[in-house]
Chain A
Amino acid sequence: MSGYFIFIILVLAFVLIFQISKASEYVSVLKGEEKSFKQSNRINAFMFILFMVLGLFGAWWCNELLYDRTLLAQPAASDHGEKIDFMLWLTIIVTGVVFLMTQILLFWFAFKYQHSEKRTVYFFPHNNKLELLWTVVPAIFLTILVGFGLFYWFKITGDAPKDAQIVEITGKQFNWMMRYPGKDNVLGRKNYRLTDASNGNALGVDWEDGASHDDIEASEMHLVVGKPVQLVINAQDVIHDVGLVHFRLKMDAVPGIPTTLWFTPKYTTAQMKEITGNKEFVYEISCDQMCGSGHYSMRGVIVVETQEEYDAWMASKKPQYVTVQEAAAPAAPKADSTAAVATATMSKPLAQLK
């Protein structure tokens, strides 16, 4: 009912605007086009100045409302993230100055040089000095931005430290699966043709490879604070993306082409709860590459903790190979917990979020 109501109001508003517009056209013909042109020209010139003033005020107000909800208001949770934040602020300052300068000039000129019969325009087709000036100055500032940008880019994408912890993360519609290399610090070989979620091998690990026997699988990622970690990123079906907002990092997960990403977490989850003042805080992994109808629900969780906490968690885990062997030994097929989660989420993507 209210739908029809809104529709009728809309139609009436249209008719009203149309009638006013037609009437004003007739009025302008009666008044003389010259006179009505001058009047509307003055109004529009004033509107530009008004727009600029209100717009700048609006931008300030928007900042007041929303700044605290962005990541600018909290420290980056990784060493790479700090570099990115610095780069971000540098760019905000440079572009901010240009933004204010050009927008104010634009609207000021529009107002100042509105039509007037007294003014004769200044015939000014070109000026090489001016044009050189605004070719060279932007080029200098851009060189600075490119310089800083590439310096950090190579730091961030450079080789991970030798002692980095290795964690494999694999994306599929619509959840993440983790694998730890175990004591040998080597991930066992994989072959996608061996993938068999119902028999405890959701990742397609090749059990023939001895290095896989101590690999540990999990649905949650645990990291040690202050210790570099290298993520080995895979996807099984379509392209996903490991988005780590608090660490300010991101890397695609591409089927058939493993990618890597490394960083050092700076704060434990508990510390971040204090920093953000949010008791519910968790490090989240968001899928940042469109991957299908459940894309928006493809959420993973990272727990950053102290070495002791991490060791305790790791000790509670059983290598996947052992789990599979145990399941195979007694005839009763008992899927392991990871696979159960995986199967459940396949049909109901939101299940694991609740």
Chain B
Amino acid sequence: MSSETISHGHAAEASVHSHDSHEAHGHDHHHEESFLTKYIFSTDHKMIGKQFLITGIIWAIIGGLFSVLFRLQLGYPDASFPILEDLFGKWAAGGRISNEFYYALVTMHGTILVFFVLTAGLSGTFANILIPLQIGARDMASGFMNMLSYWFFFLASVVMFASLFIQTGPASGGWTIYPPLSALGQASEGSKLGMDFWLISMALFIVSSLLGGLNYISTILNLRTKGMSMTRMPLTMWAIFFTAVLGVLSFPVLLSGAVLLLFDRNLGTSFYLSEIVVKGEILPNEGGSAILFQHLFWFLGHPEVYIILLPAMGMVSEILSVNSRKPIFGYLAMVGSLFAICILAFLVWAHHMFVTGLNPFLGAFFVLLTLLIAVPSAIKVFNWLTTLWKGNIRFTPGMLFSIGFVSLFISGGLTGIFLGNSTLDIHLHDTYFVVAHFHIVMGVASFFGMFAGVYHWFPKMYGRYLNNTMAYIHFWVTLVGSYLIFWPMHYSGLAGMPRRYTDWSNWQSFNQFQDMNRFISTVAMVVFAVQILFVFNFFYSIFKGRQVKSENPWGANTLEWTTPINPGHGNWPSDIPEVHRWAYDYGKDGREFIPQTEPIGADESKH
């Protein structure tokens, strides 16, 4: 296998690597691939993408289940569920979720979904599957590094999963793990061994992310096929490219933050600790700054939300255009706005810290730069709307989720204009308004982008379709459910209700939302059940789904649809196709679509 590993796209010109044509899928003529090299330690970008996706799905089920558990507490604070005690023992003594358990669930829910699902599961999956297919390469620049990227992610997953079973529980200081809470075992059960596991897992995760990111960047820059200039790339490629740049430049900063925190925890240093009396114990640490960690964390943490969102934006742009049968409106403006978001993403981190005692003068710059992001975001929204305008729309499941994405991106993006304005942030910071904002714009919207991608490229991944009826149920219940869950939260936020409270019943100011909380919890459970339906549809359709009969089922222009229905390692059995035009010639000169591989005709109109 290794001798034949296709990891250098330039060699691809020679086209010696026509592994298996779609006719002979699963029966390799050229060499035997063992189960181990084909499914486990694979260097084929498509298999690695699937590994990321399936690991991401497993994590999403766990992370989603955690949210159902803590929604039980929030919706039914007085009820007792004996089954919880059977399952979780002392963490749910008497069938009620203990405070420590609640905070562990919240923390793990955030960590899992932000990093393991929406970073690894989303860009890991689609960067791997789509980059070589859409730019016309045989594989990633380094197939081996790519494989390592997955296995470091797997290791990170193992460590994080193991932390769930520690006696003192996993990390429980919130996914942002602010010290001193996360630095002092005396301050919280979750800050004992669980926190070390969290930090080690995250360090491994960052290694994975860097290996992947460097690979994505070098592949896109170096391995594009003949004629595929940067400005002819589909928007998915641009989005994934900027995502990788963001990750490569910002994840190392989180690593440094995490390593310093490990030192503070285990080696007695004082990077983040100063003048602390915890549970009556006077600590010797002086001179550190708890705020330093927040700067290091959010220097990744803010780009991180764009690492999550940009690939979704890219895929949605592509899918909207394909299914409107119309070019994406303002291609260059779309690339420009992705670039602007990418740059600004590095310059806004302190808007998470307006109420930490940040210098107000400094804060003013962060307000300005933060609200500046609304401009490229607005351009994107209006361009998407114009793409739909006068189109001829096919509501494939991927298209439904793409339209849902735009709706959610608008709703969640607009509340960002509230929170980015420091004056309002003083009032709304750390209330449910924030919870509603980021869940809609970063959580649910990115999930919609991910679902759109899965439904759209599933035929490419497995040569089969997902079941449409289940897809429609999945879409409509999820769209309606997401709004039902998060829309009312804006109201509790405007009442100042703080997040990360297990129970508001002792508060005069916040106890008026019990019926609303119960409603939200009920809807959350329904939405979760429907996600299980999707997972079922996914695995069932891999084996039993309706078979794809044509190479280009959506009538799309991009290169991945010029490969066989089940492409082997190397993607194209013969030469890599040459590209002659951009990816969005839909509805041009009366033709429904013109693939990128078709040369420009003599009498073709210009645009």
Contact status B498-A288, CB under 8 Å? yes
Q: Which residues between 96 and 114 of chain A lie within 8 Å of chain B, taking CB atoms?
A: 98-99, 102-103, 105-107, 109-110, 113-114
Complex Cα gap A218–B503 (Å)? 26
Interface positions of B from 425 to 470, Cβ below 8 Å from A: 426-427, 429-431, 467-470
On chain A, the residues within 8 Å of B414 by CB distance are: 95, 98-99
Q: Which of A144-159 contact B (CB under 8 A)?
A: 145-146, 148-150, 152-154, 156-158
Give residues 136-189 of B contacting A (CB, 8 Å).
172-174, 178-181, 184, 187-189
Contacts of B356 in A (CB 8 A): 252, 254, 259
Contacts of A161 in B (CB 8 A): none
In the complex formed, the residue of B with least CB distance to A132 is: B333
Q: Please, what's the 1-or-0 string for B88-103, where 1 marks a CB less than 8 Å from any CB in chain A? A: 0000000000011001
Contact A121 B326 (CB under 8 A): yes
Given contact pairs A14-B533, A84-B427, A195 touches B277 in the complex (Cβ within 8 A):
yes
Residues of chain B within 8 A (CB-CB) of A47 are 476
A17 to B388, CA, bound (A): 31
Q: Which of A106, A125, A172, A350 contacts B327 (CB 8 A)?
A: A125
A296 pairs with B501, CB closer than 8 A: yes
Cβ-defined partner of B385 (8 Å) among A69, A106, A259, A284: A106
Whether B25 sits at the interface, judged by CB under 8 Å, is no
Give the distance in Å from the alpha carbon of A294 to the alpha carbon of B607 in the complex. Answer: 63
B378 to A134, Cβ gap below 8 A?
yes
Q: Is B192 an interface residue (CB 8 A)?
A: no
- Please judge, given known A-B contacts A88-B424, A152-B423, whether A288 and B430 are in contact too, CB under 8 Å: yes
Task: Establish whether residues A292 and B504, one from each chain, have CB atoms under 8 Å apart when the complex forms.
Answer: no
* Interface residues on chain A, number (Cβ under 8 Å): 127
Q: How far is the CA of A192 from the CA of B418 in the complex (A)?
A: 38
B375 touches which one: A125, A135, A250, A292 (CB < 8 A)?
A135
A255 contacts B426, C-beta separation under 8 Å: no
Contacts of A20 in B (CB 8 A): 469
User: In the complex where A70-B491, A138-B378, A236-B278 touch, is A150 in contact with B509 (Cβ < 8 A)?
Assistant: no
Once the chains bind, are A102 and B410 in contact (CB under 8 Å)?
A: yes
Which A residues touch B172, using CB under 8 A? 293
The reply on B282 being an interface residue by CB < 8 A is yes
Stretch at the interface among B114-122, B308-316, B400-408: B400-408
The 0/1 profile, CB within 8 Å of B marked 1, for residues 48-84 of chain A is 1001000100110011001101111000000011011
Chain B residues whose C-beta falls within 8 Å of the C-beta of A345 in the assembled complex: none
How far apart are the CA atoms of A113 and B391 in the complex, in Å? 6
- CB of B35 within 8 Å of the partner chain: no
B529 CB contacts on chain A under 8 angstroms: 10
B275: chain A residues within 8 A (beta carbon): 192, 255-256
B residues near A150, Cβ cutoff 8 Å? 364, 367-368, 422-423
Complex Cα gap A158–B290 (Å): 24
Specify the chain A residue showing the minimal Cβ separation from B400: A44
* 13 A–B contacts, CB within 8 A, in A order: A18-B470, A51-B476, A106-B385, A110-B388, A123-B326, A135-B375, A173-B278, A243-B430, A243-B496, A246-B496, A286-B507, A289-B430, A296-B503
B residues sitting closer than 8 Å to A (CB atoms) are 81, 83, 99-100, 103, 172-174, 178-181, 184, 187-189, 273-280, 282, 286, 288-291, 324-333, 355-357, 360, 363-364, 367-368, 371-372, 374-375, 378-379, 381-383, 385-386, 388-395, 400, 403, 406-407, 410-411, 414-415, 417-418, 421-424, 426-427, 429-431, 467-470, 472-473, 476, 479-480, 483-484, 487-488, 491-492, 494-496, 498, 500-504, 506-510, 512-513, 516, 529, 532-533, 536-537, 540, 546, 584, 586-590, 607
